[in-house]
Amino acid sequence: MDEWLRLDDGSLIFKENKGSDSAINGGKSRFRRMFDDVFAVFLSQKPEKKSVRSFPVLSGSGKPIDLFKLFWIVRKLGGYDLVSYKNLWGCVAERCGPDTGAVASLKLVYAKYLREFDHWLKAILKDGNLVEGEVGVIGKLDSLLKELETMFGNLFRSENDCKDELICNVNSQVDYEMFTAESVSDSKHRSCNAEHRKHNRNNGGERSFSKIANDTVFLVSTEGIVEKILRRAPAKSNRQYDDEEKFAQMIGTGEKENNDEEKVSVLNGSDTTVAVGKSVIEDVTASHKRKRGSPCYSEMLNWLKHAAKHSNDPEIGPVLKSLNWKGHTGKDFWFQALAIREVLLKKSHIDTDAGEAKTQKKQRMQPSMYEEEKLNNQPAENLRCSKRIPNLQKHTLCRGCSLCPISRNKVETHQKKEDDIASDLVSVEVSVTEKPKAAYELPRQKAPKVDPGGQPRTAEVPEWTGVISESDAKWLGRRMWPPEVEKTNPLVVLDPVGKGRQSSCDCLLPGSAECNRFHIADQRYKLSRELGPLFTLWRFNKMGEEVSLSWTDEDQEKFKVCIKPSLSQKNNVWSNFKELFPSKTRNMLVSYYFNVFLIRRRTYQNRVTPKDLDSDDDEKEVGRVGGNFGDAAVYVPSSKCLLTCSENKVCTDLQ
Amino acid sequence: MRSKDKISYFYDGDVGSVYFGPNHPMKPHRLCMTHHLVLAYGLHSKMEVYRPHKAYPVELAQFHSADYVEFLNRITPDTQNLFPSEMARYNLGEDCPVFDNLFEFCQIYAGGTIDAARRLNNKLCDIAINWAGGLHHAKKCAASGFCYINDLVLGILELLKYHPRVLYIDIDVHHGDGVEEAFYFTDRVMTVSFHKYGDKFFPGTGDMKCKFILFDGTPAPLMNTSRFAYRGFILKDTGERDGRFYSINVPLKDGIDDGSFTRLFKTIISKVVETYLPGAIVLQCGADSLAGDRLGCFNLSIDGHAECVRFVKKFNLPLLVTGGGGYTKENVARCWALETGVLLDTELPNEQDGTDIFGLSSGYYCSSSILGRVLLVRTLICLKRQITNKQSSIRIVWIRTEHSQLKLAVSTGIELLTECREEFFFPEIPDNDYIKYFAPDYSLKLPGGHIENLNSKSYIGTIKMQVMENLRCLQHAPSVQMQEVPPDFYIPDFDEDEQNPDERVNQHTQDKHIQRDDEYYEGDHDNDNHTDDA
C-alpha cells in the first residue's frame, strides 16, 4: 500500500511536467491520420452495408463531429457497451466539446459509424492476421493500435488529476488494467501453448477477469503485437519458451539480471494502475499479485518502444528538451516494430538497445531525471539517424492535415506504406511488399465518396424546378420531393413505408428516456440524411427539443417564468419578451415555445398527470421532471448500477 | 379506370411557426406534427412533395374582395388598434386575431390549394393534398371562424376552369358555410357538408331546412313537399336560379359514432356522385369531427374519419384533399398522417389493444401485438436484472388505465420511477421529434370518445331520406353543364310511374321489360325526351 501511495505521488510528478502539448498534438495528429486511413479502409470494405453513412459527420444540430476524437474518448472510457451501460454518454459529450450537440446524437454517431468499425477492427485482427493480401492493412492496423495503446497509456496518466471526472478515470484505469492483463495472459497463452500448461492454469483467473473487459480493440491490439512477435521469435531464437526469457531475448539483453531489474520497476509501475483502479475492482490480493506480475510484459513492450525510439529517432534529441515523458512516448510508435524486428534480426544492435531500454526504464520512473539521461543518449541517436530522416520530415509536414485532399493523402499513404513495409522487413518478404500496396490502394479508389478526414464534399444541390416548364413552375408549386436529381448513393436503403416502428431496440433499457432520446435522434439523423437540403427547408432543423440546445439554462428558466403571465394577455404575447431576450428573434421564441416548452409540458403531463393530458390548453400547469431531455431522472453517474431511484418531489407533491 | 398512383402533397415549412396567440385553439403547429408523422412513416417516398407558391393578392381577390385582401395584407398586430371600424367590418379580432405573418400564412395555405388544383387540372397528379388548407368559413369580405382566406373556394374556382362540375365534400364538424355561400348560385359546384347543427354551434348555419326557405322564399321542408310538386318546381326554376339545390347539408347532433356516420356518408356521397357526375372532388377533412377534439363534439375514430376519405378516393376522380379544423394537435396529426396513408394506398398499422393474458386480478397485461409482447418481456427481464442488483424491495407493477394501454411502474415505497411509467410503451408511431405528444399509447388510435350519441336511428333515417329526395330532384334539373355529360344511368321516372305499385312483378318479367326498353329506345337521349314529356 505504501508503495502504491508513493508511486501515486510519483505519478503526480509526471503531471507537473506539463507543457507537452505540442508533442501530444503531434502524436495525436499522427494517430488521427492513421485512424483516418484505417477507417477509410474499413468503409471501402463495407460497401454493402445497409446503414447509411454520410460525410462529413454532422451532429443533430448540424455541427461536424470529430470522429477520431469521439472514437478515442469512447475507447478510453471503455468502449460503446461500457459507456452505454454506465450511462457515460454525457461524459463523452462533455469531452467532445461544448458545441457537439445532444448526448443522443453523439451516441448515434458512434453507433452509426464507429461501433461497426470497432467490431471490424477486432475481427480483422483475430481472423485476418494471416491473410497475405491484407498485410498492408494489417500493418497499418498494427501501427494504429500500437499508437492507440501508447496514447491511451499517456492519457490515463494525464487524467489522474481531473478529480471531478472520477468515473471516467476509473473506467479508463480499469480498462487499462484489463487490457494489460489480457494481453499478457494471452501472450503467455500463445507462446507456451503446449509446453506450458502450468502458465495457463496460472493465468486462468486473469483471463476470466479480462473477459469482463469491454475494450476489445486494445486487448486485441496488444495481443496481436505480442502474437506477431512471438510467432516470429521461434525462427530466430533458441526456442526458449519461458515468457520472461523470451521477452528478454527480444529486447536483446539476454541477461537475466537486467531483466529482473526491469521487472521490479515494472511491478511498481503497474502498481500505480492497480492502486488507482483498486477502488473499483475489488479483487483479492492474490489476483493482485498476478496482475502485478503480468502487466510487466506489456510495460516491457513499452520500454522496448522507448528504447527503439531513442536509438532511432533523429529528431528526438532537440524535441525532447522541452518535453516530458508523456510527450515522447507518444512518438515512439514509428520505431517500435522496426526495433523489435531489427533486434531480432541484427544481433549487433542488441547491446545498444538493451542499454537504451534500461535507461528508459529509469526515466520512466523518475522523469525529472530525464533530461540528464537524455544528454547521454544523444550520441547514440545521432549515429543511427540517417535512414529515417526523410520519411519523418514528410510526416511532420502532413501532421494535423487530416483535411488535406485525397491526392495528398495518397502520397502520404505511399510513404506510410513504405514505412510500414520497411518495418515489416523481418516477417514479410520483399516480394510481398508490392502486394499490400495494391491491396491498400484499391479499396481507396473504390470508395471515392468517403473522405476519411470528414472533409465536406461539395454537396450536390439538386435543382428544384417544376415539371412542365420554368414559367409554370411557380404556379404549380415547387417540387421538393423527390429531388429532381436523384442522389446516386447506393447505400440508401429505405425503411419499409408505412409500417411504423419496425424493430425493438437493443438498448440496455429499452424505453428509457435515454433510449427514447437516442431513437429520436436516430430518426432525425436518418431523415436529415434522406432529405438532404430539404431538412432545412422544411424547418426540421428547428423542430423538436433540440431547439433548446441553443438556449442557455438561465434563459430557459426565464422563459418558463415569464410565459405564464404573458399568456393571459390577449395580444402581443412576445412584446415583453423582446426586452427579456434581446438576442432572440420572435421566431426563435415561437419555435422554442412550440418545440421545447410545449413538449416539456406534455412530458410533464405524461409523467405526472397521465390521466389529464391536454397539450392544447395553454394555461395548464407546467412542471418539469428530469433534465432538459428528461434524462436526468434516471441518470446517476456515480453508481455502477444503472437504475437508482431518487425521490421525485414534483410527483409526490402533486399526486 | 385510372389508377391513383400520382399524389402531390403540399407543404411549406414556414407554417409551423405561425402563432395565433395564447389560448387560441387554432395551432398551425399541428401541420408540422402531421408532416413529421408523415415522414416518420416514410410516406413521402410514395408521393411528390411540393412547396406551394405564396398566392398573390390578385389571386386571392378572385374570390375575396380586393379591399379585404388589401387590408389583410396591410394590418399588423401593432397597427390593428388604428382601424377599429375595418376590424369590425372584416370580423377580425376575437376569433380571427391579427398576428404576425398573418398574410403570409394565408398566402401559403391558399397558394397550396390553388397549386393543388392547378396540378390536378394539368393532370400532373390524381390526388393533391394540402393539409394546411381547408379554411372553409372565410367569407368574401370577412374572416370567420379562424379562417381569413377561403382557399377552398379559390381551389374550386381553379378546378372549374377545367371541370364542368366540382363536388365539394366537407366532414369538418363545423358547417362549411363559406364554401356553400360562395357557390350558392351555381350548379357547377355541389357542396355537401356533414356537420354538427344546433345548440348554437358555430357557425349556426347548415340546417337542412334553410336551403328550402331560400329556395322558394317560403319555409317549405322537403318532407311536406310532394314529389311531383317538387320536381315541377325545379323544372320551372331552371335557368334562372341554377344553384339553389346544389347545397346539401347533413346536420347531425352530438356524439355521432363511426358506424352511423360512415353509413350515412357512403349512402349520400355515392348517390351524389352518381347523380351529379362531378369532374373533380374537393374533400375537406377537418379533424375536429374526431372524438376528443377540443372544440368538436362528435365521436368519430380516426378509422371512421379515414373511411370517408377512403370511400371518396374510390371514385377515382381528380381529388383535392385539404385539412380544416382540428384542435387537438396530436389527434390531427394522427388523423391526417393516416389519411395520407389511405390516399397512398398505404394502410398504417393503427389497431392496438391490450390483451389481458395473465388475468385481471394479477394486474399483468400484455399487448396483442407480437412486437409489443417481445418488448414487454425484454423490458421486464431487463428491469428485474437491474432491480435485483440494486435492492430487493422493488415491486414491478403493470398498470392498466382506462384507455386499455399498458403502463409500467416500478415502485419502491414512495419512490416512483416515473420515467419508466411514461416511457415504456408499445411502439407503434415511429420516433419523431414530437413523439411525446402521442403518449400514453404512442399509437394512431385515439383515446376513446365518451360523448353520448344523440343521433337516433330515426333521426338519421330522416336525414337520409330528405337528402335522397333532394337528389332525386336534381336528376331532372338539366343545366348547360349537365348536358355535356347526360345522366345515363337512372331508370326513367316514367317507368316507375307507369307501373302499378300494387302489382307484383317477378324478376324475369322485369328483366324482359328492361331489355325491351333497350330495344325500342336508342340509349339515353330517348329517355331524356320521355322524361321531359312526362
Interchain CB distance below 8 Å, B417 and A524: no
Strand partners, B191: B168, B247
Q: Does B522 score more than 70 pLDDT?
A: no
Q: What is the mean pLDDT of chain B?
A: 73
Q: How far is CA A322 from CA A19, A546, A628, B451, in A?
A: 8, 45, 45, 82
- Chain A residues within 8 A of B13 when measuring between CB atoms: 537-540
Interface test with B, best of A595, A616, A628 (most B CBs within 10 A): A616
Alpha helices in A282-331 (DSSP H): 285-293, 295-312, 316-320, 325-329
Higher pLDDT, A148 or A115: A115
Q: Does B248 score more than 80 pLDDT?
A: yes
Q: How far is CA A139 from CA A220, A231, A235, A267, in A?
A: 14, 15, 20, 30
Inter-residue contact A638 to A88 (CB < 8 Å): no
Domain boundary assignment for chain B = 7-221+230-351+448-474, 370-427
Of A495, A521, A518, A523, which Cα lies nearest the Cα of A508? A518
Q: Is B172 annotated as a binding residue?
A: yes
Q: Known catalytic residue: B175? A: no
Measured in whole angstroms, how far is the alpha carbon of residue A493 from the centre of its chain? 28
Model ipTM value: 0.70
**What is the model's pLDDT at position A132?**
44
Alpha helices in B57-96 (DSSP H): 57-60, 66-74, 84-89
Whole-number Å distance between alpha carbons of B96 and B142: 10
pLDDT tens for each residue of A156-166: 444 443 333 33
Q: What is the mean pLDDT of residues A515-522?
A: 79
Q: How far is CA A138 from CA A79, A126, A413, A566, B528, in A?
A: 21, 11, 14, 65, 89
**What is the model's pLDDT at position B95?**
86
Whole-number Å distance between alpha carbons of B96 and A572: 15
**What is the model's pLDDT at position A329?**
42
Confidence label for A298 from pLDDT (cuts 50, 70 and 90): low
**What is the model's pLDDT at position B186?**
79
**What is the model's pLDDT at position B246?**
81
Give the lowest-confidence range in A107-111, B19-23, B194-198.
Answer: A107-111
**What is the model's pLDDT at position B214?**
36
Q: Is B216 annotated as a binding residue?
A: no
**What is the model's pLDDT at position A242?**
44
Give percent of chain A above pLDDT 90: 0
Confidence label for B231 from pLDDT (cuts 50, 70 and 90): very low
**What is the model's pLDDT at position B35?**
92
Size of interface A-B (CB pairs under 8 A): 248
Q: Does B132 score more than 90 pLDDT?
A: yes
Cβ neighbours of A158 (radius 10 Å): 16
pLDDT tens for each residue of B428-453: 678 788 888 887 767 777 766 678 88
pLDDT tens for each residue of B462-483: 889 888 887 887 765 444 444 3
Name the CATH code of domain A31-43+52-154 (choices 1.10.10, 1.10.150, 3.40.50, 3.30.1450): 1.10.150
Q: What is the mean pLDDT of residues A557-561?
A: 82
Nearest CA to CA, how far is A64 from chain B (Å)?
Answer: 21
Catalytic residue among B35, B137, B163, B305: B137
**What is the model's pLDDT at position B263?**
93
Interchain CB distance below 8 Å, A497 and B371: no
Give the lowest-confidence range in A366-375, B8-17, B217-226, B339-348.
Answer: B217-226
Interchain CB distance below 8 Å, A498 and B42: yes
pLDDT tens for each residue of B107-130: 999 999 999 999 998 888 999 999
Domain boundary assignment for chain A = 31-43+52-154, 513-646
Interchain CB distance below 8 Å, A468 and B414: no
**What is the model's pLDDT at position A137?**
56
**What is the model's pLDDT at position B413?**
29
Give the lowest-confidence range in A12-26, B226-240, B328-342, B510-524.
Answer: B226-240
Nearest CA in chain A to B421: A607
Of B36, B234, B20, B38, which Cα lies nearest the Cα of B143? B20
Interchain CB distance below 8 Å, B387 and A643: yes
Confidence label for A33 from pLDDT (cuts 50, 70 and 90): confident
Confidence label for A78 from pLDDT (cuts 50, 70 and 90): confident
- Chain A residues within 8 A of B327 when measuring between CB atoms: 616
Interchain CB distance below 8 Å, B32 and A543: yes
Q: Does B418 score more than 60 pLDDT?
A: no
Q: Is B511 annotated as a binding residue?
A: no
Q: Does B148 score more than 90 pLDDT?
A: yes
> What is the DSSP pairing of strand B7-10 with strand B48-51?
parallel
**What is the model's pLDDT at position A35?**
75
Nearest CA to CA, how far is A85 from chain B (Å)?
Answer: 11
**What is the model's pLDDT at position B320?**
96
Higher pLDDT, A360 or A31: A31
Give percent of chain B above pLDDT 70: 65
**What is the model's pLDDT at position A557?**
83
- Chain B residues within 8 A of A568 when measuring between CB atoms: 22
Confidence label for A152 from pLDDT (cuts 50, 70 and 90): low
> What is the DSSP pairing of strand B48-51 with strand A478-481?
antiparallel
Q: Using H for helix, E for strand and C for coil, what is the string for B299-361?
A: CECHHHHHHHHHHHHCCCCCEEEECCCCCCHHHHHHHHHHHHHHHCCCCCCCCCCEECCCCHH
- Chain B residues within 8 A of A645 when measuring between CB atoms: 394, 410, 412, 415-417
Interchain CB distance below 8 Å, B122 and A468: yes
Nearest CA to CA, how far is A288 from chain B (Å)?
Answer: 26
Confidence label for B508 from pLDDT (cuts 50, 70 and 90): low
Q: Please tell me which of the candidates B78, B115, B327 has its beta carbon nearest to residue A476.
A: B115
Q: Is B178 annotated as a binding residue?
A: no
**What is the model's pLDDT at position A526?**
81
Confidence label for A306 from pLDDT (cuts 50, 70 and 90): low
Higher pLDDT, A416 or B125: B125
Q: How far is CA A260 from CA A289, A300, A305, in A?
A: 16, 11, 18
Confidence label for A111 from pLDDT (cuts 50, 70 and 90): confident
Strands (E), B171-211: 189-196
- Chain A residues within 8 A of B421 when measuring between CB atoms: 607, 610
- In the numeric block, the cell 494489460 is attached to A180
Whole-number Å distance between alpha carbons of B194 and B134: 14
Q: Is B327 annotated as a binding residue?
A: yes
Residue type, A143: S
The CATH topology of domain B7-221+230-351+448-474 is Arginase; Chain A (3.40.800)
Give the lowest-confidence range in A344-348, A542-546, B72-76, B118-122.
Answer: A344-348
pLDDT tens for each residue of B163-219: 888 999 999 999 998 988 888 877 888 889 999 998 889 888 887 743 343 344 333
**What is the model's pLDDT at position A100?**
55
Confidence label for B52 from pLDDT (cuts 50, 70 and 90): very high
Q: What is the mean pLDDT of chain A?
A: 54
Interchain CB distance below 8 Å, B440 and A606: yes
Nearest CA to CA, how far is B233 from chain A (Å)?
Answer: 43
**What is the model's pLDDT at position B67?**
92
**What is the model's pLDDT at position A607?**
72
The number of CA neighbours under 13 Å toward the Cβ of B285 is 35
Give percent of chain A above pLDDT 70: 25
Q: Is residue A109 exposed (0-12), middle (13-18) or buried (19+ Cβ within 10 Å)?
A: buried
Higher pLDDT, B2 or B134: B134
Nearest CA to CA, how far is B449 from chain A (Å)?
Answer: 14
DSSP H or E run through B169: strand B166-170
Convert A453-487 to b/e letters by CB count within 10 Å (16 or more is b). bbeeeeeeebebebbeeeeebebbbbbbbebeeee
